[in-house]
């Protein structure tokens, strides 16, 4: 066994130094690219690249780390921060950390990183030809998509430019229309105000009549209340001595405010205002009012306990609020509401003339509303167009044609819907309302125009607002490929679209590994 | 139904993140736990009711036995048995004599085997019985009042019942009418929960005075400093295994585990007390310096004034348990390592863990699917950070049904595992003890059909609420359950043909979301007729025993299991590693991880760690870096995070963060040979792998309260940065004749005492003790398995006499073959300018590893070359290189097989 051990060591040391390449006399140290082979001259002492040490050339690749910069051990795992270069003939060459040399795992397709193990067992087969072919085929496929995609992209750019022009023209046009609409609005406003003025004075006399009626009704109400008070007083005053005493209060359950079954001294004192007895007069003036409050409080208590428990309700409220923020036509309704106070007026009492005046005022109001609505509609359209023009549809407007287009992806649990430059939603297949995963914000990250940020989505329970990163890559048909939630409430989507099929030195971003993306 | 479940989970979540620390109201105080209130109110100044019956005394060659009468109850007598055990240990058991209404539970599961007794010599007079054990130990038993004085070398060391706090409540029929002050003995309410207590009062208690000690340690698990504090004016330390949500620091609240082992330490000697009881237990501590939180000023003043009284200064402990028998061990040291050896001969040591489990573990609740697992693994390689184990939390299951896989997200578990193993990595999956009540779940149906569940007080299957919703709990007290559960882990029953999945047993206190104190009601019934109150603290131990058995059987006893458990008890170390549970991403929680693991380590459980980064909340990059730098030096090293936190894998911050975390993890991997050798030593001797400083320097009193530093074995001193924004920190360097060498710069420190150390963000203050030799592997690869054949670098740090010693243990890193002698054990000695390698056990194991480098630190620049002689053969010359900046001499490439005998001479 000892002999064997030494033999292995010997092999390790011997093989570590050189690899013979083909049948020529050129010798390069293991783990070095051809271009750099000249830095290693066998018949001279070796100088570490960082100049720290000069060592005999026999120390190069002898499986012992002499140079702090690892330059003496390109072919072994001896240096902690070194690298190993594999040629991978037939495929692309690769540089791996030295720690992957001879660790039993085939990292290079030519197997050169496992040279010690290869010699013993032939662990790693050379798969470069096969992999290289597959890689070339894949590159070709991607390239094809790329070329085709690039053409579509050109069309998108043209379309984008066209759209921009259209929008600009439309805005100019709208400005014209808007001017005349504003004029109409102002005219109808004047007509409306005049008609309402007339209407107001016509209704004045009816208002006076009505006020008198109300006063009488109040009077009646008061009398009724007093009668009620007498009645209650008599009810509580069981011994009929025209006074309410403590013992009588005790028997009356309404005074048991905390519902513990007894009317405590505190509860009595509250009602009796610390007095021993209450006269009828006192009761009508004060006691009755407190008693009514007690009855009211009792009712309200019941309501209170019901309200805040239902968390789902709260959530919905919150969601509606969220949505409101994003609707721009929520502001103009209220001032149009109160135009007739006549609800409690009996219209039949109006004479014919008054009726006519009211009708005219109504028509004037309608005319104004109509004009106002038209004006606002125009205004809104202009704002939308301007916003749209301000959106960043890429350096060449290549995304403009996709504005507002929606794409869906369905997985086991959810249907995701991405509406470009607008918003992203998620709908559970088990029902329930849509959840907004984000609203368009901006392009982020490098390279530019490859990742979209949609944020300010619905709040997570007790968490942040939802947000989504959409990663774009080149494809012929726009399609949503994947949707994941790597962090709670932070979503990530992959979306292919021809708009990013750019032919720069930059490689097309087709099948990127998620490894890189998770770090966003 | 499911939406209701979601609502509940959602509510749980809400509560989860809006409350920032524990809701103490969910857990009992001593006052609310009736037996604790009863025991604690006993009067020290009242004579004890217990007296030895002189005529009953018997001494056999194995034990001493006698009756004890309770003078308050003429018809009740107790039987005590005192065993003298080998290695300076005593055991005293007291149970009722004769029949009793209910069996009292004895958690012998904690013991590794029946302790070996030694014979004693007895002498007696009218008032005292004297027992002598192995010449140096004498026990004086006073007949009335009953008490014990334990002398070592004629010095009073431990007193038992010196404060008259012994109690033994015998079972009695429920009286017709119950006095007001006894209502709590027969029925107890806590919040909305009733404890029906059909068996009435049954508490036991005993007090101990540790005359030779100045400080007390142990009693894990509490989020507490290493040195225990006086509990007067506060609640006692509590043992009741509980799932405490967002636990607070520095208090005596019961946490996930219970190891009722107490260590007393003084300049003269160290002792241990082990209270073997699985029921709810509280321990009052007094007579020590330092006070638990919330001590009033007045109280401190009282202590100060009464400080002159010497009796008050004697450290003491009062153990109170709700039921069971009085059963305790006293270990008499005399040194800390003697006490831990004595304790571990009772409860066992951790079997040598498979090497991968000492490497780095990557966990998160949850990696979403098998692709996510693969991506994370790949990223470790992309960023060249070593990692051995990927972990899956509860979401991998099919609807929280353990032993199943989510059919979509984890549809190809075997493929996933094989992906990992192709890089030398492993998978750990979580398996909790609650079982989903689902008629389509085989395990639930098996459990119902075979009567495997714990019952409620009415004899029906107990139902509680946990992750899956409505759940029942396997009764691991039942041998049928143990066998059934173990067989769930077999290849046929779980995932298929792989032995590379290991197990994480969580929530095994057991956690019951809607139970009293988030656990099972005490009046539930287990196999054998025991109540849950009898066995509560060993429920988790019983589960890991079955899991261990299952993993062992899975490989026909060949491969070493690895299990992580949250709940633990004395003896858990024989089966599983332990972590400190659901901590927080906060500097204070980084800091507490040291005393929490040190307390566990001196109490037998060395294999301990804390969630790196903190479980709840998001650590900033500075905290995360410092946590990795610290966690890399605790035995169990795992990054973990709550589902609501942001991802925090090492590459998700910035380049510097990735770089520093990579450095910390790599440092761990270079030291794996040391860790492995230390664990081997632990298995043999019980010596804690990580230790408080006083273990190595027992005479140095200044060390008694230090718990922001620790030692790995007797070799490395770790003084990690535990605070924010630190550029400099103060470390204490122990020992008067010591040299400590900085592991980065090799600069020597000869100071004894405090010293300021520069500690910028890239600095991890770790020191090698002069006089030691540390075996390392400098070629850090993707996982530890891939480093198996790699060469070693020996780091020799000489002491003041220019001498150093060390050792190295090697085996196949995964199987039990080492128990058949298939291992290598080497001792190194550096003396007289020679490094000598003696392979003491080398015949039965082959390794390809060799010695690539020897570094000798702290020697003068007088040597120009070296020679090596292998197996007494001829000399060959070696090159040396001396670095004058750090006084390190490097011997270049001895290139000798590690298992050879050789001598390197410096010339």
Nearest Cα neighbor of B514 from B21, B9, B19 is B9
Chain B segment 1-40 residues within 8 A of A by beta carbon are 7, 10-11, 13-14, 16-18
Report pLDDT for B377. 98
Give me the CATH number covering residue B791.
Answer: 2.60.40.1180
Report pLDDT for B275. 98
* A331 Cα to chain B: minimum distance (Å): 35
pTM of the model: 0.83
- Is residue B369 assigned to a domain? yes
Least confident of A386-395, B128-137, B334-343: A386-395
Q: What percent of chain B has pLDDT over 70?
A: 96
- Is residue B473 assigned to a domain? yes
Structure-model confidence comparison of residues B252 and A247, the more confident one: B252
Task: Say if residue B320 is in the same domain as residue B387.
Answer: no
Task: Say if residue B35 is in the same domain as residue B131.
Answer: yes
What pLDDT digit, counting tens, does each position of B689-726 carry? 999 999 999 999 999 999 999 999 999 999 999 999 99
Report pLDDT for B20. 57
Q: Do A311 and B10 touch (CB under 8 A)?
A: yes
Mean pLDDT of the B878-893 span = 96
- Is residue B3 assigned to a domain? no
Least confident of A72-76, A233-237, B127-131: A233-237
Query: Which amino acids of B are annotated catalytic?
Result: 506, 582
* A135 Cα to chain B: minimum distance (Å): 20
Please report the number of interchain residue pairs, chain A to chain B, with beta-carbon separation below 8 angstroms: 92
Confidence of residue B216 (pLDDT cuts 50, 70, 90): very high
pLDDT at position A321 over 60: no
What's A448-511 look like in SS3? CCCEEEEECCCECCCCCECEEEEEEECCCCCEEEEEEEEECCEEEEEEECHHHCCCCCCCCCCC
Confidence of residue B4 (pLDDT cuts 50, 70, 90): very low
What pLDDT digit, counting tens, does each position of B568-613 carry? 999 999 999 999 999 999 999 999 999 999 999 999 999 999 999 9
Chain B CB contacts of A312 under 8 Å are 7
- Partner residue opposite A103 with nearest CB, options B644, B645, B786: B786
Chain B segment 379-408 residues within 8 A of A by beta carbon are 379, 382, 384, 408
Task: Say if residue B319 is in the same domain as residue B382.
Answer: no
* B369 Cα to chain A: minimum distance (Å): 10
Report pLDDT for A344. 53
A308-342: burial string, b at 16+ Cβ within 10 Å, e else: eeeeeeeeeeebeebeeeeeeeeeeeeeeeeeeee
Question: β-strand B563-565 against B577-579: which pairing, if any?
Answer: parallel
Closest chain A residue by Cα to residue B644 = A488
**Contact status of A99 with chain B (Cβ, < 8 Å):** yes
Q: Which candidate in B895, B896, B901 is best for mutational testing of the A interface (most A CBs within 10 A)?
A: B895
Q: Which residues pair with B69 in a beta bridge?
A: B51, B77
Task: Say if residue B317 is in the same domain as residue B369.
Answer: no
What is B447-467 written as a DSSP string?
HHHHT-BPB-TTSSBP-EEET
Q: Do B893 and A8 touch (CB under 8 A)?
A: no
Chain B CB contacts of A486 under 8 Å are 368, 372, 647
Task: Say if residue B369 is in the same domain as residue B326.
Answer: no
Least confident of A113-122, A162-171, A437-446: A113-122
- Is residue B859 assigned to a domain? yes
**Contact status of A56 with chain B (Cβ, < 8 Å):** no
Closest chain A residue by Cα to residue B368 = A486
Task: Say if residue B389 is in the same domain as residue B438.
Answer: yes
Report pLDDT for A342. 46
Least confident of A198-207, A295-304, A482-491, B91-100: A295-304
Confidence of residue B15 (pLDDT cuts 50, 70, 90): very low
Across chain B, mean pLDDT equals 94
- Is residue B474 assigned to a domain? yes
Task: Say if residue B597 is in the same domain as residue B742.
Answer: no
Whole-angstrom Cα distance, residue B24 to residue B247?
9
* A380 Cα to chain B: minimum distance (Å): 40
- Partner residue opposite A97 with nearest CB, options B368, B384, B899: B384
**Contact status of B183 with chain A (Cβ, < 8 Å):** no
DSSP E strand boundaries for B71-108 = 77-85, 89-96
Closest chain B residue by Cα to residue A55 = B879
Chain B CB contacts of A485 under 8 Å are 368
Report pLDDT for A309. 39
Whole-angstrom Cα distance, residue B222 to residue B600?
10
What pLDDT digit, counting tens, does each position of A199-215 carry? 888 888 788 888 888 89
Domains of chain A: 30-125 (no CATH), 183-298 (no CATH), 400-497 (2.70.130.10)
Q: Which candidate in A2, A4, A5, A62 is best for mutational testing of the B interface (most B CBs within 10 A)?
A: A5
What pLDDT digit, counting tens, does each position of B816-849 carry? 999 999 999 999 999 999 999 999 999 899 999 9
CB-CB neighbours of B414 under 10 Å: 13
Chain A CB contacts of B376 under 8 Å are 518
Q: Do B10 and A100 touch (CB under 8 A)?
A: no
Report pLDDT for A168. 92
Handedness of CA B322, B324, B325, B328 (dihedral sign): negative
* A36 Cα to chain B: minimum distance (Å): 24
**Contact status of B663 with chain A (Cβ, < 8 Å):** no
DSSP E strand boundaries for B591-631 = 608-609, 611-612
pLDDT at position B230 over 90: yes
pLDDT at position B617 over 50: yes
Report pLDDT for A509. 42
Beta carbons of B427 and B410 less than 8 angstroms apart:
no
Report pLDDT for A356. 86
- Partner residue opposite A461 with nearest CB, options B14, B408, B893: B14
Report pLDDT for A19. 45
* Domain closes at, from B659, B691, B723: B691
- Is residue B699 assigned to a domain? no
Nearest Cα neighbor of B790 from B804, B775, B805 is B775
* B82 Cα to chain A: minimum distance (Å): 55
* Domain closes at, from B334, B368, B403: B334
Report pLDDT for B297. 41
Report pLDDT for B7. 40
Chain A CB contacts of B781 under 8 Å are 77, 99-100, 103
Task: Say if residue B679 is in the same domain as residue B824.
Answer: no
pLDDT at position B18 over 80: no
| Side-chain-facing half-sphere of B476: CA atoms under 13 Å | 24
* Domain closes at, from B299, B334, B369: B334
**Contact status of A227 with chain B (Cβ, < 8 Å):** no
What pLDDT digit, counting tens, does each position of A444-497 carry? 998 889 999 999 999 988 778 999 999 999 999 999 999 999 888 999 999 999
Q: Do B790 and A77 touch (CB under 8 A)?
A: yes
What's B339-369 look like in SS3? HHHHHHHHHCCCCCCCHHHHCEEECCCCCCC
Task: Say if residue B778 is in the same domain as residue B638.
Answer: no
**Contact status of A310 with chain B (Cβ, < 8 Å):** no
Q: Do A8 and B848 touch (CB under 8 A)?
A: yes
Cβ-based neighbours of A504, under 8 Å, separated by 6 or more? none
Whole-angstrom Cα distance, residue B278 to residue B107?
6
Cβ-based neighbours of B495, under 8 Å, separated by 6 or more? B405, B413, B414, B417, B501
What tokens were used for A338?
């109160």
CB-CB neighbours of B232 under 10 Å: 16
**Contact status of B232 with chain A (Cβ, < 8 Å):** no
Mean pLDDT of the A80-99 span = 95
Report pLDDT for B294. 40
Q: What percent of chain B has pLDDT over 90?
A: 91
pLDDT at position B738 over 50: yes
Task: Say if residue B665 is in the same domain as residue B743.
Answer: no
Report pLDDT for B809. 98
Q: Do B375 and A1 touch (CB under 8 A)?
A: no
Q: Do B378 and A311 touch (CB under 8 A)?
A: no
- Count up the domains in chain B and report the number: 3
Least confident of A319-328, A422-431, B72-81, B735-744: A319-328
Give me the CATH number covering residue B509.
Answer: 3.20.20.80
- Partner residue opposite A515 with nearest CB, options B379, B644, B853: B379
pLDDT at position B732 over 80: yes
Chain A CB contacts of B17 under 8 Å are 462-463
What pLDDT digit, counting tens, does each position of A25-50 carry? 456 789 999 888 889 999 899 999 99
Report pLDDT for A54. 96
pLDDT at position B454 over 90: yes
**Contact status of A414 with chain B (Cβ, < 8 Å):** no
Quote the crossing angle between the two packed helices B479-488 and B442-450, to the nearest 10°.
160
> Residue B822 belongs to what domain range?
714-906
Q: Do A77 and B422 touch (CB under 8 A)?
A: no
Report pLDDT for B14. 39
Q: Do A487 and B11 touch (CB under 8 A)?
A: no
Whole-angstrom Cα distance, residue B108 to residue B321?
16
Task: Say if residue B632 is in the same domain as residue B746.
Answer: no
pLDDT at position A304 over 70: no
- Is residue B873 assigned to a domain? yes
Radius of gyration in angstroms for the set of CA atoms belonging to chain A, rounded to a whole number: 43
Closest chain A residue by Cα to residue B880 = A66
Q: Which candidate in A60, A103, A318 is best for mutational testing of the B interface (most B CBs within 10 A)?
A: A103
Closest chain A residue by Cα to residue B373 = A515
Task: Say if residue B125 is in the same domain as residue B217.
Answer: yes
Q: Do A99 and B871 touch (CB under 8 A)?
A: no
- Is residue B704 assigned to a domain? no
Q: Do A9 and B643 touch (CB under 8 A)?
A: no
Whole-angstrom Cα distance, residue A33 to residue A16?
16
Question: β-strand B875-883 against B888-897: which pairing, if any?
Answer: antiparallel
Chain A CB contacts of B7 under 8 Å are 311-312
Mean pLDDT of the B793-806 span = 97
Report pLDDT for A453. 97
- Partner residue opposite A105 with nearest CB, options B423, B646, B852: B423
Q: Do A311 and B647 touch (CB under 8 A)?
A: no
Whole-angstrom Cα distance, residue B483 to residue B507?
21
């Amino acid at each position: 066994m000892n002999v064997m051990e030494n033999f292995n060591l010997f092999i390790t040391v011997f093989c570590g130094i050189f690899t013979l390449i083909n049948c020529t006399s050129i010798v390069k140290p293991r783990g070095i690219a051809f271009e750099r082979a000249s830095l290693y001259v066998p018949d001279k002492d070796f100088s570490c690249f960082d100049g720290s040490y000069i060592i005999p050339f026999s120390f190069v690749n002898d499986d012992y780390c002499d140079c702090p910069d690892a330059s003496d051990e390109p072919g072994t795992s001896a240096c902690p921060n070194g690298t190993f270069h594999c040629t991978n003939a037939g495929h692309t060459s690769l540089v791996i950390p030295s720690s992957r040399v001879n660790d039993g795992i085939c990292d290079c397709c030519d197997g050169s990183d496992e040279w010690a193990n290869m010699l013993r067992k032939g662990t790693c087969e050379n798969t470069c030809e096969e992999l290289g072919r597959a890689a070339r085929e894949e590159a070709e496929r991607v390239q094809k998509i790329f070329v085709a995609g690039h053409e579509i992209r050109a069309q998108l750019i043209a379309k984008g430019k066209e759209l921009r022009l259209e929008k600009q023209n439309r805005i100019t046009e709208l400005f014209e229309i808007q001017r005349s609409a504003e004029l109409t609005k102002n005219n109808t406003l004047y007509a409306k105000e005049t008609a309402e003025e007339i209407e107001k004075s016509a209704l004045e006399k009816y208002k006076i009549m009505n006020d008198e009626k109300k006063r009488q009704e109040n009077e009646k109400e008061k009398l009724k209340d007093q009668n009620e008070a007498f009645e209650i007083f008599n009810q509580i005053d069981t011994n009929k001595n025209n006074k309410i005493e403590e013992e009588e209060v005790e028997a009356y359950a309404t005074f048991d405010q905390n519902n513990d079954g007894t009317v405590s001294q505190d509860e009595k004192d509250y009602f009796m205002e610390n007095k021993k007895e209450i006269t009828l007069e006192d009761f009508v003036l004060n006691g009755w009012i407190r008693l009514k409050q007690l009855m009211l409080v009792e009712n309200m208590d019941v309501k209170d306990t019901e309200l805040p428990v239902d968390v789902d309700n709260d959530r919905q409220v919150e969601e509606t609020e969220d949505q409101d923020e994003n609707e721009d036509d929520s502001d103009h309704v209220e001032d149009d509401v109160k135009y007739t106070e006549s609800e409690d007026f009996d219209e039949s009492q109006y004479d014919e003339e008054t009726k006519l005046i009211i009708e005219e005022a109504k028509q004037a109001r309608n005319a104004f509303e109509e004009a106002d609505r038209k004006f606002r509609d125009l205004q809104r359209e202009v704002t939308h167009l301007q916003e749209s023009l301000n959106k960043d549809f890429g350096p060449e407007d290549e995304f403009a044609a996709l504005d507002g287009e929606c794409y869906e992806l369905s997985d086991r649990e959810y249907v995701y819907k991405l509406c470009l430059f607008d918003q992203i939603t998620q709908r559970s297949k088990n029902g329930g309302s849509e959840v907004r995963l984000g609203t368009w914000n901006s392009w982020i990250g490098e390279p530019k125009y490859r990742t979209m940020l949609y944020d300010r989505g619905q709040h997570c329970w007790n968490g942040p607002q939802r947000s989504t990163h959409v990663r774009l890559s080149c494809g012929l048909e726009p399609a949503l490929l994947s949707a994941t939630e790597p962090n709670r409430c932070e979503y990530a989507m992959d979306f292919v679209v021809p708009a990013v099929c750019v032919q720069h030195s930059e490689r097309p971003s087709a099948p990127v590994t998620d490894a890189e993306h998770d770090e966003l | 139904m499911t939406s209701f479940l979601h609502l509940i989970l959602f509510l749980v979540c809400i509560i989860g993140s809006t409350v920032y620390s524990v809701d103490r109201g969910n857990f009992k105080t001593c006052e609310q736990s009736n037996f604790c209130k009863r025991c604690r109110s006993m009067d020290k100044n009242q004579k004890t009711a217990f007296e030895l019956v002189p005529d009953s005394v018997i001494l056999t060659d194995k034990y001493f036995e006698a009756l004890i009468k309770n003078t308050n109850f003429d018809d009740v007598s107790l039987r005590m048995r005192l065993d003298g055990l080998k290695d300076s240990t005593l055991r005293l058991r007291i149970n009722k004599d004769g029949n009793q209404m209910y069996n009292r539970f004895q958690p012998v599961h904690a013991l590794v085997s029946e302790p070996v007794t030694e014979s004693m010599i007895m002498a007696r007079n009218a008032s005292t019985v004297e027992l002598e054990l192995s010449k140096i130990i004498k026990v004086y038993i006073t007949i009335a009042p009953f008490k014990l004085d334990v002398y070592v070398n004629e010095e009073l060391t431990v007193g038992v019942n010196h404060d008259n706090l012994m109690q033994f409540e015998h079972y009695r029929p429920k009286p017709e009418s119950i006095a007001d002050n006894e209502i709590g003995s027969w029925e107890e309410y806590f919040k909305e929960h009733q404890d029906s207590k059909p068996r009435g009062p049954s508490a036991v208690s005993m007090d101990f005075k540790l005359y030779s000690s100045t400080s007390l340690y142990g009693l894990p698990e509490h989020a507490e400093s290493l040195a225990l504090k006086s509990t007067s004016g506060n609640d006692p330390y509590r043992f009741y295994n509980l799932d405490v949500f967002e636990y607070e620091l520095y208090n005596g609240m019961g946490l996930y585990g219970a190891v009722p082992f107490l260590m007393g330490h003084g300049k003269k000697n160290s002792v241990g007390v082990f209270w073997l009881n699985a029921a709810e237990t509280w321990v009052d501590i007094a007579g020590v310096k330092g006070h638990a939180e919330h001590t009033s000023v007045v109280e401190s003043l009282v202590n100060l004034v009464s400080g002159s009284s010497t009796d008050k200064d004697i450290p003491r402990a009062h153990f109170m348990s709700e039921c069971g028998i009085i059963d305790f061990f006293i270990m008499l040291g005399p040194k800390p390592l003697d006490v831990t050896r004595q304790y571990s001969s009772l409860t066992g040591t951790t079997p040598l863990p498979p090497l991968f489990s000492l490497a780095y573990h990557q966990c998160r609740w949850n990696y979403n699917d098998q692709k996510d697992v693969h991506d994370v693994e790949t990223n470790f390689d992309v960023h060249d950070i070593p990692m051995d184990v990927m972990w899956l939390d509860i979401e991998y299951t099919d609807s929280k049904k353990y032993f199943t896989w989510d059919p979509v997200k984890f549809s190809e578990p075997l493929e996933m595992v094989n992906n990992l193993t192709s890089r030398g990595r492993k998978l750990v999956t979580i398996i909790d003890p609650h079982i989903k009540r689902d008629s389509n779940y085989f395990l639930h149906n098996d459990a119902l059909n075979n009567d495997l569940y714990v019952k409620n007080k009415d004899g029906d299957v107990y139902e509680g609420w946990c992750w899956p919703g409505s759940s029942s709990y396997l009764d691991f007290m039942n041998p049928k359950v143990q066998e059934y559960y173990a067989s769930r882990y077999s290849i046929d029953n779980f995932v298929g043909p792989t032995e590379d999945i290991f197990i994480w047993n969580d929530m095994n206190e057991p956690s019951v979301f809607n139970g009293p104190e988030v656990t099972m009601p005490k009046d539930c019934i287990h196999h054998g007729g025991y109540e849950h109150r009898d066995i509560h603290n060993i429920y988790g131990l019983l589960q890991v025993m079955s899991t261990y058995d299952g993993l062992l059987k899975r490989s026909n006893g060949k491969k070493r299991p690895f299990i992580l458990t949250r709940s633990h008890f004395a003896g858990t170390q024989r089966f599983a590693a332990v972590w400190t549970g659901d901590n927080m991403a906060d500097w204070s929680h980084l800091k507490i991880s040291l005393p929490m693991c040190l307390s566990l380590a001196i109490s037998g459980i060395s294999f301990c760690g804390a969630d790196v980064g903190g479980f709840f909340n998001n650590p900033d990059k500075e905290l995360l870096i410092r946590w990795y730098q610290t966690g890399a030096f605790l035995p169990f090293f795992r990054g973990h995070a709550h589902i609501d936190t942001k991802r925090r894998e090492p590459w998700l911050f910035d380049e510097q963060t990735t770089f520093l975390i990579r450095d910390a993890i790599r440092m761990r991997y270079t030291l794996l040979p040391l860790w492995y050798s230390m664990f081997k030593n632990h298995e043999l001797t019980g010596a804690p792998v990580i230790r408080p400083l006083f273990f190595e320097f027992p005479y140095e009193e200044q060390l008694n309260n230090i718990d922001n530093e620790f030692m790995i074995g007797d070799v490395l001193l770790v003084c990690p940065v535990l605070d924010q924004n630190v550029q400099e920190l103060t470390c204490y360097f122990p020992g008067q004749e010591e040299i400590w060498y900085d592991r980065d710069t090799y600069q020597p420190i000869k100071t004894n005492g405090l010293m300021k150390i520069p500690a910028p963000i890239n600095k991890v203050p770790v020191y090698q003790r002069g006089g030691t030799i540390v075996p390392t592997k400098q070629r850090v690869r993707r996982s530890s398995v891939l480093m198996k054949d790699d060469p070693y670098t020996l780091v020799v740090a000489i002491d003041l006499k220019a001498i150093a010693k060390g050792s190295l243990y090697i085996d196949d890193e995964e199987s039990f073959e080492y128990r058949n002698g298939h291992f290598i054990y080497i001792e190194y000695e550096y003396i007289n300018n020679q490094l000598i390698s003696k392979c003491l056990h080398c015949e039965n194991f082959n390794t390809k590893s060799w010695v690539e480098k020897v570094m000798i630190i702290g020697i003068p620049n007088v040597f120009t070359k070296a020679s090596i002689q292998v197996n007494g053969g001829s000399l060959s010359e070696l090159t040396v290189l001396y670095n004058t900046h750090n006084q390190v001499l490097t011997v270049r490439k001895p290139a000798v097989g590690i298992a050879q005998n050789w001598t390197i001479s410096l010339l």
